[in-house]
Amino acid sequence: MTFDFFEGAAGTGKTHNLVDRADELVQDGALGSGQKLLALTFMNGARRRLDARLGENQAFRRRFDCQTFDVFARMIAARRRSLITPAMQEQVAPLDQFDGPCNLAAGLLEYDAVRNWVARSFPLVLIDEAQDLDEHRMRILQGLSQSCSIVAAADAFQCLHDGRDTVPLMGWLEGAGEVHHLVQPRRTQRQGLLAAALAVRQGQDIKAVLTQGQGQRPTWSGNGFRLVESFATNAGIVARTIADEIFYRTGDVTIVSPNLSHQLVRNALADVHNRTWTTRNGQTFGPFPLMWDRYDTEEADALLTDINLPDMAALSDFRSALAPAAGYAAVAQAIKRMDRLRRVTGQAEFGAAQVTEFVRDAVRNHARLGPRRHRGRQAMTIQRAKNREFANVIVLWPQNVTGSHEHLRRFLYNGITRAQVHCTVIVIGQGRLNAPPFAPTAL
């Protein structure tokens, strides 16, 4: 068994090296007849991207299975349920539907028989974005490492869970096998962009590595990077700042923010989506339609935003209430599920919470089939943008971003490092650039 750990900053090619190392192991005979590579991720979005990356490699065609930790854990718990003790069941009682199965699977992987059973099917395991693993998923990885070859990749600074201590996890990863430290940037060679990201990562003053502009608007720039301080308190001015940035960039632009629910941000993006502006020489530009890239739960909730579901009603009433959204596959599947329950189990009434969960389940199931296809301009949270890259990025930094200084720096760093060509950070509110995450401490 082997253990390879790739550690490096954003954009240094961790996932690329992860897949390349797996390719080498497969070429060397790591997979026998009927065996597959198992790829595990914390989030479903990362799973879809890793699934697409592995599918591009001929060595892995029909020889890999890409899952989230909780899906893999549910499989182990279901297949080995006879080994689950009352003490294990008591431990998972207070945990949610995702952490509970992971805790059970971690306990089951303490048995040699279970570990060897997994290894017979999956002798090689890939773990991407390992810095996100909590104690339950870390225990799963530790169990698998005793019977399977492991290739893992992580960067502690890209963990966006405020307050989570990554030291035990990173310490274990670095001591479990061969460590590969990645230092060469691959995503971009724009020196201003790289310098700004490094300043944020190291807790330095970001303005110190940039050149201040001479115009009326406070700006600082570098090759591939621009920092804009917006004094605006109304969405229209913020929208114009965003539209200007989109207008002057070549190629698609992706907008990210730690919090897209901020009302000023939402109103500004609505303006960008619908409004037309005029330059000083009379040229018009805009509108710039935006595609929202949401988490599965957010996608489901958006489908039901304008629908008034009855608290408790028969299928016919819910069918009528859901009629405006029945053209969406997830809603249609939820209606079919209710009809099946009515016919098979005799359930006569359904609750609003139950139906909402049916829609969410349908969205999640659809998402597992493959990545969503988006073209053009997108808007998403920084959490949603993790482990992805885009040509041009606009980071909107509203006034209501909360968390420790370290947490704020990690958020900003993750936003900046999504860019391949250019990143603009628009800071909403006056006098915020002399405090974290833009400077070490309040100046």
The number of angstroms, rounded, from the C-alpha of 200 to the middle of its chain's C-alpha atoms is 20
Q: Closest Cα partner for 7 from 173, 125, 162?
A: 173
Q: Are 181 and 12 in contact (CB under 8 A)?
A: no
Q: Where are the beta strands (DSSP E) in 89-183?
A: 124-127, 149-154, 178-182
At 422 the three-state DSSP class reads strand
| pTM of the predicted model as reported, rounded to 2 decimal places | 0.84
pLDDT along the chain (443 residues), means of 10: 96 96 96 96 89 91 94 96 95 93 97 97 97 96 98 97 93 97 96 98 97 88 96 87 93 92 89 93 93 75 84 94 88 93 94 92 71 70 91 95 94 97 94 93 60
Query: Six-digit token pair at 30?
Result: 């790591």
Q: Measured between alpha carbons, how far is 244 from 231 in angstroms, rounded to an integer?
A: 16
**pLDDT score for 374:** 53
Q: Measured between alpha carbons, how far is 408 from 436 in angstroms, rounded to an integer?
A: 7
Q: Measured between alpha carbons, how far is 14 from 313 in angstroms, rounded to an integer?
A: 51
Q: Measured between alpha carbons, how far is 105 from 133 in angstroms, rounded to an integer?
A: 14
Strand partners, 397: 427
Q: Are 290 and 414 in contact (CB under 8 A)?
A: no
Instruction: List C-alpha distances in Å: 210 to 56, 66, 194, 197, 335.
Output: 39, 42, 11, 11, 55
Q: Measured between alpha carbons, how far is 4 from 125 in angstroms, rounded to an integer?
A: 11
**pLDDT score for 229:** 92
Instruction: List C-alpha distances in Å: 377 to 110, 228, 286, 302, 373.
Output: 47, 20, 12, 19, 12
Q: Measured between alpha carbons, how far is 396 from 346 in angstroms, rounded to an integer?
A: 50
**């979005």: which residue's tokens?**
45
Q: Could you please report the per-residue DSSP string of 239-252?
A: HHHHHHHHHTSSS-
Query: Six-digit token pair at 38?
Result: 């198992």
Question: What does the DSSP 8-state code read for residue 142?
Answer: H
Q: What is the pLDDT of residues 347-401, one digit of tens each?
A: 999 999 999 999 988 887 776 655 455 556 999 999 989 989 999 999 999 988 9
The number of angstroms, rounded, from the C-alpha of 169 to the middle of its chain's C-alpha atoms is 20
Query: Six-digit token pair at 120?
Result: 């017979």
Q: Measured between alpha carbons, how far is 178 from 322 in angstroms, rounded to an integer?
A: 54
**pLDDT score for 177:** 96
